Structure 1
Amino acid sequence: MRVGLYGGSFNPPHRGHAHVGRLALQRLGLDRIWWLVSPGNPLKSTDGLPDVGQRLAAVRRVANHPRAVVTDLEARLGTRYTIDLVRRLKALRPHVRFVLVIGADNWATFHRWGGWREIARMVPIAVVDRPGATFAALASPAARTFAGARVAERDGLLLPDLVPPAWIFIAGVKVPLSSTDLRRAAERA
């Protein structure tokens, strides 16, 4: 089983998130993509963050794909950091080939994540391009640290089977939406 781990606050989820999920399924040949609705990003304030139940319902409407699984697994496992989640999942499901799916904006700041080097050595990472994030992602500390582990985009179907560290940068159509912009627009309305 090849499973993409696509986590976030999804506050609110939007068609840009759905695009990333579908692109990962297609380009990586995943059997499933798990939308991991987090209790809250440790690098962001949780002030005004709707509860997990509300965000789960909203993500289910957006994820709408037969191979998408929307879950609050992080809350149920009691993990707050991606490194802890990856460790637990690999222990619980040793035969599943997990791939971390993140946006280029997250890859640009990946070096701020707790245990980021260890995460990259535990699971392959698919970085999906996002508007305005291309250059920052490709010049990031993570990209430089793991430059020798970058896989050509044309070899995306191989990524889930590779021994980490291994990462890919997936280009393509970019949906110019962000949750931050959507929240700001809602506040002004």
Structure 2
Amino acid sequence: MKIGLYFGSFNPIHIGHLVIANHMAEYSDLDQIWFVVTPHNPFKKKSSLLDNYQRLEMVYRATKDYSKLKSSDIEFNLPQPNYTVNTLAHLQEKHPDYEFSLIMGEDNLKSFHKWKNYEVILENHHIYVYPRISENKVETQFDGHKKIHTVNAPIMQLSSTFIRNAIKTGKIVKPMLPEFVWEYLDEMNFYR
């Protein structure tokens, strides 16, 4: 089985995330997409993050009705700060019959050469890239690489930061979130 790993803080998960993941599941050779909730990205400040399990709960609620989309807490029990290369090794050991690939926005591909052991990742895994910035192609040192596949997914101009700020200022964001996520956020009074 081919699994696409979609890493993120998902703080909160929104319809843009679901559109991209579903597109990858339906229009690439990936069988399932796992939303890997990251406990702490070494490049981000931790202060604005909701608790790990609250974010996992939102991802679970957002994906429960989609058979090809799953939530994953695989990184919760790995030493922090964790790196993608370690997560991939851990998953491969745990699920030797699965083939794991990464899903990333083209803006992340630009800085991929700065990732810890990126050569090892490329040697052992495929990367599926979705457009993030604009329709203009982003030039990277990985252009034409045989393990990097560009998937023509819809461009989503929606971010978790935008949603958090909108909630904080009393704006209505319900249409931007999966229904179960909106209900959970509202009930828990998150980001207010």
TM-score if structure 1 supplies the norm length? 0.80
Which residue of structure 1 lines up, in the alignment, with residue 164 of structure 2?
183
| SS of match in other structure, 2:6 | strand
| SS of match in other structure, 1:35 | strand
| RMSD value, Cα | 1.9
Which residue of structure 1 lines up, in the alignment, with residue 10 of structure 2?
10
The percentage of aligned residue pairs carrying the same residue is 33
> Quick check: 178-187 or 47-56, which moved more?
178-187
Counterpart amino acid of residue 97 in structure 2: H
Q: 1:147 and 2:143 equivalent?
A: yes
Which residue of structure 2 lines up, in the alignment, with residue 45 of structure 1?
45
**How far off is 1:89 after superposition?**
1.6
Change in 2 beyond 3 A, CA 1:133/1:188: farther
Change in 2 beyond 3 A, CA 1:119/1:175: same
**How far off is 1:188 after superposition?**
2.8
| Larger proportion of helix | 1
TM-score if structure 2 supplies the norm length? 0.79
Which residue of structure 1 lines up, in the alignment, with residue 148 of structure 2?
167
Contact kept in structure 2, 1:128 and 1:169, CA below 8 Å: yes
**How far off is 1:34 after superposition?**
1.1
Change in 2 beyond 3 A, CA 1:132/1:178: farther
Which residue of structure 2 lines up, in the alignment, with residue 90 of structure 1?
92
Counterpart amino acid of residue 38 in structure 1: T
Contact kept in structure 2, 1:13 and 1:62, CA below 8 Å: yes
Partner Cα separation in structure 2 for residue 51 and residue 134 of structure 1: 36
* Aligned residue runs from structure 1 range 95-134, under 5 A: 95-132=97-134
Partner Cα separation in structure 2 for residue 27 and residue 106 of structure 1: 21
**How far off is 1:186 after superposition?**
2.4
Change in 2 beyond 3 A, CA 1:133/1:117: farther
Runs of 5+ consecutive residues of structure 1 not aligned to the other structure: 151-165
Change in 2 beyond 3 A, CA 1:133/1:50: farther
**How far off is 1:65 after superposition?**
1.0
Change in 2 beyond 3 A, CA 1:61/1:131: farther
Q: Deviations over 1:34-69 (max 9, x none)?
A: 111110111111112111111011112323411211
Partner Cα separation in structure 1 for residue 163 and residue 37 of structure 2: 18
- Flag the structure with larger Rg: 2
Runs of 5+ consecutive residues of structure 2 not aligned to the other structure: 171-192
> Quick check: 175-184 or 109-118, which moved more?
109-118
